[in-house]
Chain A
């Protein structure tokens, strides 16, 4: 069964600190893996998209890694800001970019 699991479920960090979010997937065939940031009641905003051949991609303070062998991905946030408080969702495409396999997300709270 295609599945995306994320950990931790929630995380609280202090402003300025770094954090790493994890994503494990069992999706076949694998097409691409995306990390989205979603504020409550808003649409997901794309942070990074990685295909099979990419193992790291950065977008400002966000750096995603992908290990296609172990089927794991991580999202590293550097020097966190209060505005980083949101849900971070790992999404994997199984060959069809319309029908996506969504993780449940990690709820991140950045406190002053």
Chain B
């Protein structure tokens, strides 16, 4: 079975530009989680969605927004990019909100120059 798909896998942007990251969960999974992992750091929880509604919010900057669509895929929109936004962005999916059976995607490597 296909796992969590993230696109693009690599993205290079300049300061103050915008970026959109996409996440396609495992088939029938209704919950999506976004994490940000800086160099040498733990993944930090950003935000999660269950059945197209925001279910929890972590350390997501105000410059970022996200949503989950009717097909359960999710998009993370990032504006006014800063150098510190350079990180690996993971998406995870699960069946049911707050499930411990989370499956992580391969990540999107965002580099802000």
Contacts and interface: CB of A to CB of B under 8 A. Distances in A.
Contacts of B6: 43
Interface residues of A, number: 20
B98 A34 contact: no
Tell me whether chain B's interface is mostly helix, strand or loop, or mixed: strand
A43 B100 contact: no
Contacts of A100: 43, 45
Interface stretch (B14-22, B63-71, B102-110): B102-110
Interface stretch (A16-24, A44-52, A77-85): A44-52
Interface string A82-112: 0000000000010011111010100000000
B88 to A, nearest CB: 7
Interface residues of B, number: 25
Interface string A41-69: 11111100101000000000000000000
B107 A41 contact: yes
Given A41-B107, A41-B109, A43-B4, A98 B33 contact: yes
Interface in B70-113: 88, 90, 92, 94, 98-107, 109
Contact of A98 (B45, B105, B109): B45
A20 to B, nearest CB: 23
A31 interface: yes
A74 interface: no
Contacts of B33: 98
Interface of A: 31-32, 34, 36, 41-46, 49, 51, 93, 96-100, 102, 104
Contacts of B103: 46
Given A96-B98, A97-B98, A98-B33, A45 B56 contact: no
A98 B49 CA distance: 11
Contact of A46 (B48, B102, B105): B102
B58 interface: yes
Contact of B99 (A43, A97, A102, A104): A97
Contacts of A49: 100-101
Contacts of A99: 45, 56, 58
